[in-house]
Amino acid sequence: MKTLKVEELTNETFCEYGSFSDMLHPTGTFLGGIPARFFRDRVVANYDPTSLVAFGVNEISPREKNLIEKTEHHFNTCEVLMPMDGDLYLAVGPARKAPDYGEFHAFRIPKGTLVCLRPGTFHSGPYTAGDEIVHTLLALPEMMYMKDCHFYPIDEPIEIVK
């Protein structure tokens, strides 16, 4: 069985797939001061200006093995996600007409880290990095999962390993 070894999330390793920011420990430029500092524009998602952005929660339960059995991508929109109460694993691959699983990478997404996947980026669903349920905030244009969500089953599952 093919495996993907989990990598740490860095700007260098993730830039091809999107962007991210630690929302629980922000650094850099901010507006205002204590007691209310505003760390602006940490991650920018390019959504169609005629679309409403919808926020949802994905409840991810631990699995015996983190097996990727399908991937997905969105041709026309970003996908934004943030694990709220635990770390996740996510596998991603470059934007193409069809996924090339030899080019996929798996990353650990720390709790409170907002990730924005670029349009076309192939990705697995999220997997818990621990033994507890993880709630993940998702932001997509309203009903996008019905309009621009393309799934690709995998003949032989790929396991995400530490």
Structure confidence at residue 153 (pLDDT)? 95
User: Mean pLDDT throughout 71-82?
Assistant: 94
Token reading at 63: 């699995």
User: Mean pLDDT throughout 105-134?
Assistant: 97
Radius of gyration of the chain (CA): 16
Q: Are 37 and 61 in contact (CB under 8 A)?
A: no
> With bands split at pLDDT 50, 70 and 90, how would you rate the model's confidence at 48?
confident
pLDDT digits (tens, 9 = 90+) for 14-28: 999 999 999 999 999
User: Mean pLDDT throughout 99-104?
Assistant: 96
Structure confidence at residue 99 (pLDDT)? 95
- Contacts (Cβ under 8 Å, ≥6 apart) of 162: 5, 6
| Distance set, CA 68 to CA 77, 113, 125, 134, 153 (Å) | 22, 22, 8, 18, 9
Structure confidence at residue 47 (pLDDT)? 82
User: Mean pLDDT throughout 1-20?
Assistant: 96
Q: Kindly report the pTM of this predicted structure.
A: 0.93
